[in-house]
């Protein structure tokens, strides 16, 4: 292969639902670079987000390029076709150079018996005690376990191969970054499962650069990690060890790394993640999408006047359409409806009250994680506002932009990639 487009060690996925924050987002990476750490910006937008907003992948590309040009960013950047499948990838092909192949819906569909048997024969290295440097003990596998796992993931891996080859045919191999995601499913994948999945993806010949398993615990939208942090840390390290094994064994690009689809703001696991990366000298991709949209709302609210009125109306509209908005995100929300303030209450709030409720600050007693989750899925209301919402973003762009940059840099990039401990 003459050319191979590599993602780099540290990268951050950023979502820009209305296509107005690319500069503010890029400024966060510029700040990291000024501190001596390269964090590659990746603008991600799922098909689901495009459909809800009514936007097109070419707009994401245009917004990213405009920001890169305006701020004279001369390092790599990417546009991610996030969570695509064969039926949704087409319109992304000319505009994306990072593809997140989502095969979660294929998990658990039984593999043809012959295929499973052949896999087990081909991968005898997966049986027994597998030395995994860095976690203090081997990963134990038995033949029956390998068979059970491959049966569960075989069709998902095969579908990933099909989608990868479809993209490669259109774009040329080596001209794009490939991620495979399995995070949008109900049960977490164990490190042993991850190893078998990687073996199967290796069989498909996918030059995988990032993989997004479902980690243990809940990754609810807009709020902190909900789960056992110690267990997460243990499995995360095991996953890193598995990645190291897979690179050697299955010929993946040496930079292969985990991708954490954060659903925004998983602050309590950022420290454990950073320390694990140091220990394994590993890279990472972290996707944040809705956290930027929430900063738009917070920025608007903090400006007062029409900005605050727009934020209040977004909340009121979201509350009115709560079932419709939460539907597509049911697996990643945990809203206690009894703790949601009424529309009238929120319309009576000052700018400070709105910001205190919506901003993710667990130490502030006024922070309301239920209202924040509702706002997180409420972007369709802003999309329906059309001109009014976009005009407000324009009018208050400095306040909004400051919040967007600050949030990505201080609350995400810094604790993940820059903190020293
Ligand atoms: Zn995801």
143 alpha carbon to ligand 1 midpoint, in Å?
Answer: 31
266 alpha carbon to ligand 1 midpoint, in Å?
Answer: 13
Contacts of residues 185-189 at CB distance under 8 Å and 24 or more positions apart, as own/partner, are: 185/104, 185/107, 185/214, 186/331, 187/214, 188/213, 188/214, 188/215, 188/216, 188/217, 188/235, 189/213, 189/214
69 alpha carbon to ligand 1 midpoint, in Å?
Answer: 28
pLDDT of residue 142: 84
pLDDT of residue 141: 85
Is 212 in contact with 133 (CB distance < 8 Å)?
A: no
Instruction: State which fold the 10-291 domain adopts.
Output: TIM Barrel (3.20.20)
65 alpha carbon to ligand 1 midpoint, in Å?
Answer: 24
33 alpha carbon to ligand 1 midpoint, in Å?
Answer: 26
pLDDT of residue 331: 84
25 alpha carbon to ligand 1 midpoint, in Å?
Answer: 19
Domain ranges of the chain: 10-291, 292-407
Is 272 in contact with 217 (CB distance < 8 Å)?
A: no
183 alpha carbon to ligand 1 midpoint, in Å?
Answer: 6
Length of the chain: 421
258 alpha carbon to ligand 1 midpoint, in Å?
Answer: 12
14 alpha carbon to ligand 1 midpoint, in Å?
Answer: 12
pLDDT of residue 330: 87
Give the list of residues 6+ apart from residue 12 with CB closer than 8 angstroms, or none: 28, 29, 39, 40, 41, 42, 285, 286, 287, 288, 408, 412, 413, 416
343 alpha carbon to ligand 1 midpoint, in Å?
Answer: 30
221 alpha carbon to ligand 1 midpoint, in Å?
Answer: 11
pLDDT tens-digit map of 273-320: 999 999 999 999 999 999 999 999 999 999 999 999 999 999 999 999
Instruction: Give 299-344 as a DSSP string.
Output: HHHHH-HHHHHHHHHHHHHHHHTHHHHHGGGGGG----GGGPPPHH
pLDDT of residue 184: 85
263 alpha carbon to ligand 1 midpoint, in Å?
Answer: 7
Distance in angstroms (rounded) separating the CA atoms of residues 107 and 100: 16
261 alpha carbon to ligand 1 midpoint, in Å?
Answer: 5
Is 361 in contact with 275 (CB distance < 8 Å)?
A: no
Distance in angstroms (rounded) separating the CA atoms of residues 55 and 17: 9
Burial of 153 (0-12, 13-18, 19+ CB in 10 A): buried
Per-residue pLDDT of the chain (421 residues; tens, 9 = 90+): 458 999 999 999 999 999 999 999 999 999 999 999 999 999 999 999 999 999 999 999 999 999 999 999 999 999 999 999 999 999 999 999 999 999 999 999 989 989 989 999 999 999 989 988 888 888 888 888 999 999 999 999 999 999 999 999 999 999 999 999 999 888 899 999 999 999 999 999 999 999 999 999 999 999 999 999 999 999 999 999 999 999 999 999 999 999 999 988 999 999 999 999 999 999 999 999 999 999 999 999 999 999 999 999 999 999 999 999 999 888 889 999 999 999 999 999 999 999 999 999 999 999 999 999 999 999 999 999 999 999 999 999 999 999 999 999 999 999 999 998 7
13 alpha carbon to ligand 1 midpoint, in Å?
Answer: 11
Distances (CA, A) of 141 to 124, 145, 154, 238, 248: 11, 6, 17, 14, 18
405 alpha carbon to ligand 1 midpoint, in Å?
Answer: 22
Distance in angstroms (rounded) separating the CA atoms of residues 44 and 65: 14
Which one, of 134, 91, 97, lies nearest residue 11 by Cα? 97
Distance in angstroms (rounded) separating the CA atoms of residues 156 and 102: 9
Distance in angstroms (rounded) separating the CA atoms of residues 304 and 293: 18
pLDDT of residue 198: 98
pLDDT of residue 412: 97
Give the list of residues 6+ apart from residue 52 with CB closer than 8 angstroms, or none: 328, 379, 380, 383
Q: 108 by DSSP, 3-state: which?
A: coil
Instruction: Give 42-83 as a DSSP string.
Output: EEEEEHHHHHHHT--HHHHHHHHHHHHHHTT--S--EEEEEE
Give strand pairing partners of 288.
Answer: 14
């Amino acid at each position: 292969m003459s050319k191979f487009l590599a993602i780099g060690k540290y990268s951050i996925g950023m979502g820009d639902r209305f296509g107005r924050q690319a500069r503010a987002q890029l400024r966060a990476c510029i700040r990291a670079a000024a501190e001596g750490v390269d964090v590659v910006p990746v603008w991600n937008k799922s098909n689901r987000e495009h459909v809800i907003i009514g936007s097109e992948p070419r707009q994401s590309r245009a917004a990213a390029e405009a920001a890169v040009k305006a701020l004279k960013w001369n390092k790599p950047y990417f546009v991610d076709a996030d969570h695509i499948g064969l039926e949704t990838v087409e319109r992304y092909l000319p505009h994306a150079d990072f593809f997140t192949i989502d095969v979660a819906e294929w998990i658990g569909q039984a593999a043809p018996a012959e295929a499973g048997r052949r896999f087990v024969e081909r991968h005898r290295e997966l049986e027994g005690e597998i030395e995994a440097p860095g976690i203090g003990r081997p990963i134990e596998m038995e033949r029956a376990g390998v068979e059970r796992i491959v049966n569960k993931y075989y069709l998902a891996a095969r579908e990933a191969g099909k989608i990868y080859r479809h993209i490669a045919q259109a774009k040329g191999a080596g001209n794009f970054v490939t991620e495979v995601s399995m995070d949008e499913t109900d049960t977490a994948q164990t490190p042993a499962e991850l190893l078998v999945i990687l073996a199967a993806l290796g069989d498909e010949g996918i030059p995988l650069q990032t993989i997004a398993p479902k980690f243990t615990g809940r990754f609810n939208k807009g709020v902190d990690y909900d789960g056992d942090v110690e267990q997460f840390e243990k499995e995360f390290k095991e996953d890193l060890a598995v990645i190291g094994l897979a690179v050697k064994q299955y010929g993946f690009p040496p930079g292969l790394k985990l991708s954490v689809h954060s659903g925004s703001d998983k602050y309590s696991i950022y420290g454990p993640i950073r320390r694990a990366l140091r220990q394994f000298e590993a890279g990472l991709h972290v996707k944040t999408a809705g956290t930027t949209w929430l900063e738009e709302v917070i920025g608007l609210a903090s400006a007062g006047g029409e900005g605050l009125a727009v934020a209040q109306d977004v909340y009121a509209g979201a509350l009115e359409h709560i079932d419709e908005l939460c539907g597509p995100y049911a697996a990643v929300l945990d809203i206690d409806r009894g703790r949601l303030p009424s529309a009238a209450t929120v319309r009576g709030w000052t700018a400070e009250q709105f910001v205190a409720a919506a901003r993710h600050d667990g130490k502030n007693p006024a922070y309301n994680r239920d209202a924040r989750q509702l706002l997180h899925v409420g972007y369709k209301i802003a999309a329906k506002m059309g001109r009014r919402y976009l005009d407000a973003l324009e009018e208050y762009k400095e306040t909004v932009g400051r919040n967007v940059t600050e949030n990505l840099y201080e609350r995400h990039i810094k604790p993940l990639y820059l903190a020293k401990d």
